Structure 1
Amino acid sequence: MIKLLLWVFAVTCFSCSIKNGSEQEVLATFDGDPIVFHDVDALIQPELYESLFNTYYARKLMAEDLIKEKLLLNEANKQKISKDSLVQQIIVGSSISLSQYVIQNNLDQGIPDSAFPGRLIPTDDAEGKKKLSKLYREFCVERFVTLEKGKHKIQVFLKPPLTPKIDLSEIQFHKLNSVNSNNVIWVFSDFNCARCKAFFSTLVSLKSRFGNSIEFRYTSLTDFPTESTQLAEFAGVNGKFWEACSAIFRNGDLRNSDVPRILETLQLDSENFMCYVANQQNGEIHKKNYEKLLALNRFQVTPTIVINDRIYYGDLSFSRLSEYIKNSINEAH
């Protein structure tokens, strides 16, 4: 019952926190002592934050759809035509033809079927033609709307949930770039985790997008040192942690026979690596780091992304993460 009340209270507070974004806003008092957002947020379980992020994304998506609708109706009224006629006009006048769209989006072999992953719907049958027509229509309209937005004063005041800050001052990490910044993206990951491997391409894109202004950190979130973590840690000692990460994640499942090849690629000495692995002190350091993370009671899945000391519970796509990172930077300033 207490958890249910906390959940209802959290969702109610969320609507307010989206609006003002203040952790110190007073929600209640007890004998004059204030209870603020941060006090409540510290009690909310991680899975509830995922729900809050989903609520935020749903609201944002609906707001964007309403803006799109207003832009289309505004232009249609201006031209004294229906919205459907305007959409058809946009499609006909698109500078990118349907055939170019197909090539640019690698749809010449078929359209991915969301209901059956791995299945491609041929673009020359009735179902494929219908889906392709819809995709192309959405593409043309989105391009038009993007251009039209610059002609209007549009403001979106929704903000993503502000999760509690956590103290990571005692956690060891490797830097993935040479930038020193107050803005930090910290990845807690596992080389043997399928989701982490899938996320790595997004991490590469984020590093390319923000790597010149934001500090990137990485910590292995495993309960014991694996061959992959030992290889990465050894490379880190020699200033090549990011290169090792790239090699390991792109290699797939690391086998014993892969290690000498990666060491050679990174120009690292194999005998020194064996000495590093044999040193039990390195394993103890890894174990203590993992125990400190567990004690925080916030690191339950991999990958976990922490942005400016706040765990990110949202979608791990490049676009969603980029949006959240930019918002975090603005909040910091």
Structure 2
Amino acid sequence: MKKTKLISILIILIGIYFTSCNRKENNTQQLIPKKDIAAFINDSLITIQELDNSVQQELYDELNRIYAIRKVSLDYMITEKIFEIEAKKAGVTVENYINKYYYDNLTDNLLTSFIKKNKLESGIIELKRTLRLVNINSPEGEKLLYKEYKNYLRKHLADSLRLAYNIKINLTPPQSPSFSLNKIFAHYRGNLNSKVIMLEISDLECSSCKESYPIFKQIYDKYKDQVKFGFTHFSSYVSVSAIACECASLQGKFWEMHDSIFELSNLPDTTAIMNIAKKMGLDINQFRIDFKDSTIVSNIENNFRNIHDKGIYATPTIIINNKAIFNSASLEEIENLLSQELGKLE
């Protein structure tokens, strides 16, 4: 009898426990507004925030593209608005206002100067299905020349008028999401004590990464005394190049192998890798042993997953103090953010 009561009490307690868990789950769902929930899976859910975090670099890239489109359109609209104001002052239409400026500046001397400045003596380029060069002395070429000259004068007029206006642009580029570098395995050089950290998320066998290498090297040479520079592997497969760098790092020569591979004209095979290792003076027997070590492959694969889980998808990606660069191949963008971060230390 006592045993039966004990079992009954146990069943009741288990029921209460699961009911409590379900209530907590339901309460959590009730606390989150429905508009912030992307999907329900039974009693579980995926929030918009979780969804965005999983693709945050892609979203940041798209926001930058939207910003670029808006910026171009805004520039055009500002010019049109100024033309409207100036035409109204003159009591004419915008078209007549621009045409007057055009005909006032349509002289032989100015046109000749325009031709020489833009090196159009040999012809003017026209795009009709394909590019072709048209003689400016032909009827068709003359028509194209005047059209090009009119566009030039229109821009010149707009630029000169803008100087007289107080133009304030409130349109701003999107802010970079913050990317945590926790759990990302990287190699560092430069000023290892610097609070400004530039991390290159890259693939030694990626063509875009290879093209960007001279830019990153130039930045390193310029800022190596001020900035801590890092490199981490990010590729959907483990390449022989990545393995070679990790094997070289075990002998203290990661960066020498890194530079040697990026400076090759073609992707290296295992034979080429071994030749590089020999030229670098590595212990080639140990290098061969390490090259077959499955632990290195496993570490690179784990690193890929960690980076991917942070919402990063592209190579090369440059992150400076947890902020991503939109155009990672842009020397100007990278230097601007480095200067901002270094300025905070002053």
Shorter-chain TM-score range: 0.5 to 0.7
Aligned match for 1:282, one of 275, 279, 296: 296
- Could you state the TM-score of these two structures normalised by the residue count of structure 2? 0.56
Structure 2 distance, partners of 1:252, 1:136, is 48
Unaligned runs of 5+ in 2: 1-33, 38-46, 90-95
Counterpart check, 1:169 vs 2:169: no
CA contact (8 A) 1:111 1:132 kept: no
Letter of the 1:52 counterpart: L
Identity %: 17
**Equivalence map 1:170-319=2 (5 Å):** 170-175=183-188, 177-178=190-191, 180-204=193-217, 207=220, 213-236=226-249, 238-239=252-253, 241=255, 244-245=258-259, 247-248=261-262, 250-260=264-274, 262-263=276-277, 267-269=280-282, 271=284, 272-294=286-308, 296-312=309-325, 314-316=326-328, 318=330
Q: What per-residue deviation string (whole Å, max 9, x for no partner) do you get for residues 202-230 of structure 1?
A: 54565567666544322111255321112
Q: What's the C-alpha RMSD, in Å, of the aligned pairs?
A: 5.6
Structure 1 distance, partners of 2:153, 2:276, is 42
Counterpart check, 1:160 vs 2:207: no
Helix, strand or coil at the partner of 1:187? strand
Unaligned runs of 5+ in 1: 8-38
Aligned match for 2:71, one of 53, 60, 69: 60
Letter of the 1:51 counterpart: E
Helix, strand or coil at the partner of 1:52? helix
Task: Give how far 1:305 is off.
Answer: 3.4
CA contact (8 A) 2:320 2:338 kept: no
Task: Give how far 1:190 is off.
Answer: 1.5
Structure 1 distance, partners of 2:245, 2:234, is 13
- Could you state the TM-score of these two structures normalised by the residue count of structure 1? 0.58
Structure 1 distance, partners of 2:226, 2:76, is 32
Task: Give how far 1:233 is off.
Answer: 3.1
Structure 2 distance, partners of 1:111, 1:322, is 35
Q: How many corresponding residue pairs?
A: 289
CA contact (8 A) 2:209 2:316 kept: yes
Structure 2 distance, partners of 1:263, 1:135, is 59
Instruction: Pick closer, same or farther for the CA change 1:73–1:226 going to 2, 3 Å.
Output: same
